[in-house]
């Protein structure tokens, strides 16, 4: 099954 | 000193109802631009970004930038005590550990104030890059809510695919499978009833319906919803808040291992 992605892997902390 | 007077107080009530199940605690940021929030759910799968622009308030006083940590469930409890036609004013003094919500009935014959304790929340803002999306779908928000609800009775995930045929929402589960195709339809009586699809590239992404169903709690805020998709990027589900701003939900896709 596909794995759930994580927002932090797309948007970086400022 | 902070004092924000919102004549259409029901907007703030609806905003809280739309995000309180996704996010427990969040910092509301107040600046000359407006009243805003950026927060992730506890598993970091989704992010919500809210903006209520200062111009949308009847009175907007924010002497210096202020970040106020609030428990959204508690804030929603307090705002539920405001009538739908009430004017809501948010007040806080510099350095105070409380915020006050004042509710005024339209005829000014009932004035209530509710004081809520603020909390310290460690949260860092994420930089959301400006993206050119492969496909942007605008459709009636009630239709999107219906699709998410219907599909979640069959499966746990939705594949959203945009091609020149239209936008397809698909799911599979133990009992079977379902596909719902919405074609572009601009020949409607009211512009808000239209489904408009702008596609640069075909796109297909898989998402957890548990989260899209959280997002549809924002349906009362706007009669339309905009879904922006790019392959291998979080989807953006945006509900515009009339004249004032938006609630945007970002959801990380499911990724093939």
From B159, which residue of chain A is nearest by alpha-carbon distance? A2
Q: What is the pLDDT along chain B (257 residues), one digit of tens a residue?
A: 999 999 999 999 999 999 999 999 999 999 999 999 999 999 999 999 999 999 999 999 999 999 999 999 999 999 999 999 999 999 999 889 999 999 999 999 999 999 999 999 988 899 999 889 999 999 999 999 999 999 999 999 999 999 988 999 999 999 999 999 999 999 999 999 999 999 999 999 999 999 999 999 999 999 999 999 999 899 999 999 988 999 999 999 999 87
Task: Give the closest residue to B167 by CA, choosing from B178, B155, B179, B183.
Answer: B183
Q: What is the pLDDT of residue B232?
A: 87
Chain B residues touching residue A4 (CB < 8 angstroms): 45, 208, 252, 254-255
Q: Which distant-in-sequence residues (6+ apart) come within 8 Å of B51 by Cβ? A: B33, B34, B35, B36, B244, B245, B246
CB atoms B206 and A14 under 8 Å: no
Instruction: Tell me how many residue pairs between chain A and chain B have CB atoms under 8 A apart.
Output: 58
What is the complex's ipTM, to 2 decimals? 0.97
Dihedral, CA of residue B228, residue B231, residue B233 and residue B239, to nearest 10: 10
Q: Strand, coil or helix: what is A6?
A: coil
Task: Give the closest residue to B212 by CA, choosing from B137, B135, B156, B167.
Answer: B156
> Contact at 8 Å (CB) between B237 and B169?
no
> Considering only CB atoms, which residues of chain B are within 8 Å of chain A?
40, 44-47, 124-129, 157, 206, 208, 233-234, 250, 252-257
Q: What is the pLDDT of residue B134?
A: 97
Interface test with B, best of A7, A9, A12 (most B CBs within 10 A): A7
């Amino acid at each position: 099954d596909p794995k759930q992605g994580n927002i932090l892997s797309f948007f970086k902390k400022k | 000193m902070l004092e924000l007077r919102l004549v259409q107080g029901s907007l703030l009530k609806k905003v809280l109802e739309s995000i309180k199940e996704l996010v427990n605690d969040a910092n509301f940021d107040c600046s000359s631009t407006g009243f805003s929030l950026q927060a992730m759910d506890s598993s970091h799968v989704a992010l919500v970004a809210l903006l209520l622009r200062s111009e949308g308030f009847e009175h907007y006083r924010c002497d210096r930038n202020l970040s106020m940590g609030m428990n959204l469930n508690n804030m929603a409890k307090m705002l539920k005590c405001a009538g739908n036609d009430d004017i809501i004013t948010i007040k806080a003094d510099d350095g105070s550990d409380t915020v006050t919500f004042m509710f005024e009935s339209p005829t000014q014959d009932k004035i209530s104030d509710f004081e809520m304790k603020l909390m310290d929340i460690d949260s860092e803002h994420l930089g959301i890059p400006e993206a050119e999306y492969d496909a942007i779908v605008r459709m009636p928000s009630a239709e999107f809510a219906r699709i998410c609800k219907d599909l979640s009775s069959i499966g746990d995930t939705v594949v959203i695919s945009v091609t020149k045929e239209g936008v397809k929402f698909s799911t599979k589960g133990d009992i079977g499978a379902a596909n719902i195709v919405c074609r572009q339809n601009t020949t409607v009586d009211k512009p808000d009833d239209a489904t408009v699809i702008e596609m640069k590239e075909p796109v297909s992404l898989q998402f957890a319906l548990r989260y899209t169903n959280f997002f549809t709690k924002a349906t009362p805020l706007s009669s339309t919803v905009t879904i922006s998709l790019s392959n291998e990027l979080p989807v953006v589900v945006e509900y515009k808040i009339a004249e004032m701003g938006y609630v945007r939900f970002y959801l990380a896709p499911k990724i093939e291992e």
